[in-house]
Homo-oligomer: A and B are copies of this chain.
Amino acid sequence: MSVGKVVLALDGMGGDHAPEVRRRRQSSMWLAVDAAAQGRADTVVSAGNTGALLAISMMAMRMLPGAHRPALASFMPTSRGETVMLDLGANLECDAENLAEFAVMGSVFAQVLLGLSAPTVGLLNVGSEELKGHEELRQAALWLRREGSPVSFQGFVEGNDIGTGKVDVVVTDGFTGNVALKTIEGTAKLYTSFVREAFRTSTFAKIGALFASGALVKMRKRVDPRRYNGGVFVGLDGVCVKSHGGTDALGFAYAIGMAIDMVRYDYKSKLVEGLARLHALPPTLEAPVLQAGGGGT
């Protein structure tokens, strides 16, 4: 990797994020994304509105060959380190091809940022049996299972498998992913408040909290949302990282680090290669009953 210098374009939360994208050509967000799209910067990090950033990125950057939709990918804490999850909200409806492409995007993301050579990938579903779930999930699973698949596909995983880190990459549509992400955040907050309240209930508990304060700080660090700050719009011909708006310098630093690593370890060309391998597999061969009958030919 001979990247000497990675140039970042940063967008804070300033500027006008009104819904009319065209009027925003002079906004800080547009200028930052455009710098990365035009090669004046290698990557862009923004803490602005997610929807606006997605819209602008899609206008300024093209899709990579073989990618039909960008997905928002990020890390989730698990009991054995970090798991990549996508799509976290860029696409409310996804077909089998979108999901299969997201699987490749997530796999390359985990290779590049977690240093894994063959990350395991699962499709989020309501059960691990082959026949469960929506048709597009079953079709995507058939596709990813094929010989020559560019990902190490482990089949379906369930909501509780996210926290155990059963797979390195959890793939889902943007609606389900967004609900799951926010549900994780909400549950984490709830448990943190339960722990905090428990240590306030009695004098004994308060003394216990004093003794355990070092351990509790360590635990808080482990689940510190700033460590998981930074979502990447994968699939675009450019690296665009979304930082949480409410984060601080440390959180922003994690997002910037993510952006730099994506460029340094050549995410884009690895993804183009993976998507080419995916699209070289015929997708529907194993499910002929689902094809419409070719009457009259």
Contacts and interface: CB of A to CB of B under 8 A. Distances in A.
Interface of A: 77-79, 89, 92-93, 124, 126, 133-134, 158-164, 172, 174-176, 178-195, 197-199, 201-202, 204-205, 207-216, 218-219, 222-223
5 contacts: A159-B185, A161-B186, A163-B189, A191-B192, A194-B222
Contact of A218 (B159, B198, B215): B198
Nearest to A194: B219
A5 to B, nearest CB: 38
B126 A175 contact: yes
A164 B190 contact: yes
A163 B187 CA distance: 6
A199 B160 CA distance: 24
Nearest to A164: B186
Contacts of A182: 158-160
Given A176-B176, A198-B219, A208-B211, 12 more contacts: A77-B190, A79-B193, A158-B182, A159-B180, A159-B186, A160-B189, A162-B187, A163-B190, A164-B190, A194-B222, A197-B219, A205-B214
A202 B187 CA distance: 27
A201 B215 contact: yes
B179 A201 contact: no
A143 B92 CA distance: 22
Contacts of A186: 159-164
Centre residue among A78, A175, A199, A216 by max chain B CB count within 10 A: A175
Nearest to A217: B198
A211 B207 contact: yes
B191 A223 contact: yes
Contacts of A178: 126, 158-159
A215 B191 contact: no
Contacts of A213: 208
Contacts of A185: 159-160
Contacts of A207: 208, 211-212
A188 to B, nearest CB: 6
A213 B204 CA distance: 9
A179 B205 contact: no
A276 to B, nearest CB: 31
Centre residue among A174, A201, A205 by max chain B CB count within 10 A: A205
